[in-house]
């Protein structure tokens, strides 16, 4: 026997919302989902009229739904935003080249300008080449660090006021778990923030705010929305992702969700309420002396990783700074010995 939509519209239910357990027809689900995103944007004052916003577009379900909904809400509620798509090409054969084709289709469907920046042009390296050097153990560290800075570079190039990312509730809950397991208090402090960075930061003109309109949206509901709206998105997992540390947190979270569906929101709320003692050292956001972009250390992580790749020491930026300093000192010592040996050889 068909179940009637619990919203009272009189139609038959087509799905059960993972977030609330409500049985809804597709139209009522669309309305509820879109209203929740609108409420998140308005309540947290994510945008201001007249702003230019870059949507971080990967071609996946999250960024595709984000682009669709921001365009829809911008028109429906007259936000007055100028929306553009910003994509990063990491240089992963058989993955990113295919997903970028989806991004280009989104560009045509939503009539938004698209800017694509590649690791190759920004850093002189592709992820394929980096993985060939570092292996598949720490490759996600390189990709994550470079992508974050690449988005900042692209945002500065496009002269946008903020970057909207497709981080959903599942992503944020996973990040809370990861930071707790790693004891990373610096990231744990800000990983649940719906808005990071500020244009009011006078100490750093390159600090462009990032906002997460999908912060409270469940991943399953994003997939449902994309499915019933017949949105075109790229669903293949990155070929280098299976060994990522995040995968273990994701598996753990999914197991917990089976027992307690509200666990995703519970973890996010817990992360939001965490407080640290005044004695806990807080990282100070500043500007990297080398590249000029946002950093809480000197040089920034991206510059350190890039230096390691260019020196032939791919693990230079992995682990503690003291270890990296020893690696550089050892390499410089070997170079000096080599130069001295060549001088002696030339004398003969």
User: Is 62 annotated as contributing to ligand binding?
Assistant: yes
Rounded CA gap, 119 and 141, in Å? 14
Rounded CA gap, 11 and 20, in Å? 19
Structure tokens at 202: 């006078």
User: Is 56 annotated as contributing to ligand binding?
Assistant: yes
User: Is 244 annotated as contributing to ligand binding?
Assistant: no
User: Is 284 annotated as contributing to ligand binding?
Assistant: no
CA dist 197 to 232, 261, 275, 288, Å? 31, 31, 20, 15
Please check whether residue 283 is in contact with residue 185, taking contact to mean a CB–CB distance below 8 angstroms.
Answer: no
User: Is 169 annotated as contributing to ligand binding?
Assistant: no
Rounded CA gap, 241 and 62, in Å? 17
Output the CA torsion sign for 329, 331, 337, 343: negative
Contacts 24+ apart (CB under 8 A), 7-15: 7/32, 14/228, 15/224, 15/228
User: Is 58 annotated as contributing to ligand binding?
Assistant: yes
Please check whether residue 22 is in contact with residue 6, taking contact to mean a CB–CB distance below 8 angstroms.
Answer: yes
Rounded CA gap, 81 and 73, in Å? 10
> What is the H or E stretch that residue 121 is in?
helix 119-123
List binding-site positions for ATP: 56-58, 62, 88, 166, 171
List binding-site positions: 56-58, 62, 88, 166, 171
């Amino acid at each position: 026997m068909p179940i009637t939509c619990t919203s009272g519209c009189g139609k038959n239910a087509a799905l059960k919302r993972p977030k609330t357990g409500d049985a809804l027809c597709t139209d009522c689900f669309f309305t509820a989902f879109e209203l929740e995103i609108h409420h998140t944007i308005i309540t947290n004052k994510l945008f201001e009229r007249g702003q230019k916003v870059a949507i971080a577009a990967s071609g996946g379900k999250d960024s595709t739904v984000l682009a669709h909904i921001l365009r829809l809400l911008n028109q429906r509620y007259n936000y007055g935003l100028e929306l553009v798509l910003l994509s990063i090409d990491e240089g992963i054969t058989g993955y990113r080249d295919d997903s970028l084709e989806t991004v280009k289709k989104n560009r045509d469907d939503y009539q938004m300008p698209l800017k694509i920046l590649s690791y190759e042009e920004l850093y002189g390296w592709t992820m394929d080449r980096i993985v060939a050097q570092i292996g598949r153990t720490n490759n996600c560290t390189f990709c994550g660090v470079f992508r974050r800075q690449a988005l900042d570079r692209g945002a500065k190039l496009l002269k946008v006021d903020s970057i909207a990312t497709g981080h959903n509730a599942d992503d944020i809950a996973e990040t809370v778990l990861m930071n707790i397991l790693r004891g990373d208090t610096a990231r744990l402090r800000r990983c649940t923030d719906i808005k990071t960075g500020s244009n009011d930061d006078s100490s750093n003109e390159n600090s462009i705010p990032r906002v997460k309109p999908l912060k409270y949206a469940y991943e399953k509901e994003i997939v449902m929305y994309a499915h019933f709206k017949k949105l075109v998105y790229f669903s293949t997992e990155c070929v280098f992702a299976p060994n990522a540390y995040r995968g273990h947190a994701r598996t753990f979270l999914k197991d917990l969700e089976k027992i307690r569906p509200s666990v995703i929101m519970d973890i996010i709320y817990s992360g939001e309420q965490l407080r640290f003692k005044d004695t806990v050292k807080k990282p100070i956001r500043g500007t990297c002396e080398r590249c000029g972009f946002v950093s809480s250390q000197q040089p920034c992580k991206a510059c350190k990783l890039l230096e390691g790749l260019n020196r032939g020491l791919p693990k230079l930026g992995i682990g503690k700074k003291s270890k990296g300093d020893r690696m550089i000192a050892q390499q410089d010592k070997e170079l000096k010995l080599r130069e001295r040996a060549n001088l002696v050889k030339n004398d003969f």
